[in-house]
Amino acid sequence: MHEDSEVLRRPVVLSVSGLGVKVGGKTVLENVSFNLEAKETLAIVGPNGSGKTTLFRALMGLVPHSGRVSWSTESKIGLVPQSLVATDLPITVAEFLSLKCKAGFQESMNSVGLGMEVLRQRLGSLSGGELQRVLIAWAIVDRPRVLLFDEPTSGVDIGAEEPIYQRLESLKEQLGITTLLISHNMHVVMHYSDYVLALNKRPLLFSETKNVSHTKLLEIIYGAQVTPQGTAPQEAERPSS
Ligand SMILES: Nc1ncnc2c1ncn2[C@@H]1O[C@H](COP(=O)(O)OP(=O)(O)OP(=O)(O)O)[C@@H](O)[C@H]1O
Ligand SMILES: [Mg+2]
């Protein structure tokens, strides 16, 4: 992934080489390769069904895969899943968080903009956006070294999304967290990631985010027809290898 010597300073947290996943004989992912270094944020983008969630599952060892996935030994991982059906779960937010760890509730609730009174509410009584924020709080409560976010703010109000990312950004600085983020929100991708991987079963683009424009990224993912006209961005592309 990195070709310039400057970036060899930080330890590699995750190394993926030739990753492939088949489900029921159908190829869902193939030939995915990248390295991620400490404190970097990698955004993973692609259309529905392009294999993003499957990539996370493979990285966590939850689905069989070919190729190599190698985590550095001290990588404690926090996962924010794409969805959780919590309607009937008879436990409170505090009880849910305490399944993972017994302290740090205030900091993690604050990070996602939820008041402490929410701790007493049952998971099943929360709105979709509140539940999504609780899932983020749950992922960060035990201070992981790596966060995997599968569209973590998809149910959150538009106005509430940005503050969550801002808080996560400062948490990342504080704790040195390495992040993999799946998002359909190109604004989030462009502002909060260092690298971007565009996927459609196989890698379409791997680039430093600052070297690819929003327009170009949309064009790569969805085709030229959705691209606003009249822009001629400068971008640098580097296919995953
Ligand atoms: N357990 C499974 N059984 C059958 N097909 C599966 C399974 N898991 C994934 N797939 C298929 O793999 C493909 C990729 O699914 P995946 O959930 O990874 O996509 P995605 O990029 O996360 O999509 P979205 O943006 O909608 O969340 C889809 O075609 C899906 O139907
Ligand atoms: Mg998904």
pLDDT digits (tens, 9 = 90+) for 68-81: 999 997 778 888 87
Pairing mode of beta strands 41-45, 178-182: parallel
Pairing mode of beta strands 12-23, 26-37: antiparallel
What amino acid occupies position 138? W
Could you state, in order of their start, the residue ranges of all structural domains in the chain?
A: 1-75+182-241
Would you identify the CATH topology of the domain 1-75+182-241? Rossmann fold (3.40.50)
Per-residue confidence (pLDDT) for residue 4, from 0 to 100: 43
Residue of 22, 23, 27, 56 with the most ligand 1 atoms within 8 Å of its CB, for mutation? 23
Sign of CA dihedral 38, 83, 57, 73: positive
Protein residue with its CA nearest to atom 5 in ligand 1 = 23
Assess whether the C-beta atom of 49 lies below 6 angstroms from ligand 1.
yes
Report the length, in residues, of the chain: 241
pLDDT digits (tens, 9 = 90+) for 172-194: 777 788 999 998 888 889 999 99
Pairing mode of beta strands 41-45, 146-150: unpaired
Residue pLDDT tens, the chain, 241 long: 444 444 456 789 999 999 999 999 999 999 999 999 988 999 999 999 999 999 999 999 999 999 999 999 777 888 887 777 666 678 999 999 999 888 889 988 988 889 999 999 999 888 877 888 898 899 989 888 899 988 866 666 777 777 778 777 877 777 788 999 998 888 889 999 999 999 999 999 999 999 999 999 999 988 865 544 433 333 334 444 3
Assess whether the C-beta atom of 201 lies below 6 angstroms from ligand 1.
no
Query: How remote is the C-alpha of 235 from its chain's centroid?
Result: 23
Per-residue confidence (pLDDT) for residue 127, from 0 to 100: 84
Contact 120, 98 (CB under 8 A): no
Alpha-carbon distances of 59 from 3, 68, 178, 221, rounded to whole Å = 23, 9, 14, 22
Query: How remote is the C-alpha of 135 from its chain's centroid?
Result: 13
